[in-house]
Amino acid sequence: MKKNKLDDKERRLSLDIKRSIFLASFIKHWGQPSKRTISAKKGEEHGVEVYEFPPQNDGIYRIVTIGVSSQALVSGHTANWELLLCLPESLGGTDSVTAVNYLLDIMAYSLRPDVEMKIGTLIPESSLAPCSWNTKAILVDEARGEAEEISSFTIGQQFIELLWLIPLTGNEYEFIKSKGIEEFDRIESKSDVSLLDVNRLGIL
């Protein structure tokens, strides 16, 4: 029992340290967060926190996790990622509560033992995506467009990546699955359609 209490204190301290480091970096680049949501299972003290950062001057509404990287995997390892969702200021016609809950659904999916969470991972279309969005699948990518210092963190012995969740249309998902990310990137770079537009009909 004493050992469990000690482990619990260590985990709490670890999360406190991560929160301090992550928040300091995020606030430096994105300004003050407007909301925080804490998600924890019943009887669990160490859940995942989700912070919302409204647009400063770039029109991007960012929603980011802190605490996924403290979650234990079935393999016995600890998750080595946090998740970032970048949306237009309008949130694509949904509300922030729905967007946050969707991010938490993706977080839960990312922790499944049959999922390899890394750059290039594809998540199929889901009914859990906001109803107003045309983009109901997800591509996991590096945090492009963000400052290099927040794209990854080394905290103690742990290397943690900030993974960008890009909502995709069904056609975009199938294209990447068959042709690969590089070909999708090539076409996207020539398009005037933004990946932030969750209501787009598609880049292809």
Across-strand partners of 62?
Answer: 53, 86
pLDDT category at 5 given cuts 50, 70, 90 is very low
Contact call for residues 126 and 99 (beta carbons, < 8 A): no
Q: Which amino acid is at 154?
A: T
Say if 121 falls within a structural domain.
yes
Q: pLDDT tens for residues 136-178?
A: 999 999 999 899 999 999 999 999 999 999 999 999 999 999 9
Total number of domains in the chain: 1
Has residue 173 been placed in a domain?
yes
- For residue 180, give its domain range: 2-189
pLDDT at 179 (0 to 100): 96
| pLDDT of 103 above 50 | yes
204 within some domain: no
Q: Work out the average pLDDT over 83-102.
A: 98
Contact between 125 and 170 under an 8 Å Cβ cutoff? The reply is yes
pLDDT at 46 (0 to 100): 67
Please determine, for residue 97, whether its predicted confidence score (pLDDT) is greater than 60.
yes
User: What distance in Å separates the CA atoms of residue 124 and residue 188, rounded to the nearest whole number?
Assistant: 20
What's the rounded mean pLDDT across residues 19-43? 93
Quick check: 1 pLDDT over 60? no
Average pLDDT over residues 104-108: 97
What pLDDT score was predicted for residue 10? 78
Average pLDDT over residues 116-121: 96
Query: Residue 75, class by beta-carbon neighbours within 10 Å (0-12 exposed, 13-18 middle, 19+ buried)?
Result: exposed
Establish if 198 belongs to a structural domain: no
| Residues 46-87: tens digit of each pLDDT | 689 999 999 999 999 999 999 999 998 999 999 999 999 999
Measured distance CA(73)–CA(79) in Å, rounded: 6
Mean pLDDT lowest among 7-16, 39-48, 137-146: 39-48
Q: How confident is the model at residue 100 (pLDDT cuts 50, 70, 90)?
A: very high
> Within a domain: residue 65?
yes
- Is residue 201 included in any domain, yes or no? no
Quick: pLDDT tens for 179-200.
999 999 999 999 999 999 999 9
Residue 202 placed within a domain: no
pTM above 0.85, yes or no: yes
**Is residue 64 within 8 Å of 84, Cβ to Cβ?**
yes
The dihedral over CA atoms of 191, 193, 195, 198, expressed in degrees to the nearest 10, equals: -150
Residue 163 falls inside a structural domain: yes
Q: What's the per-residue H, E or C state across 76-137?
A: CCECCEEEEEEEECCHHHCCHHHHHHHHHHHHHHHCCCCCCCCCCCEECCCCCCCCCCCCCE
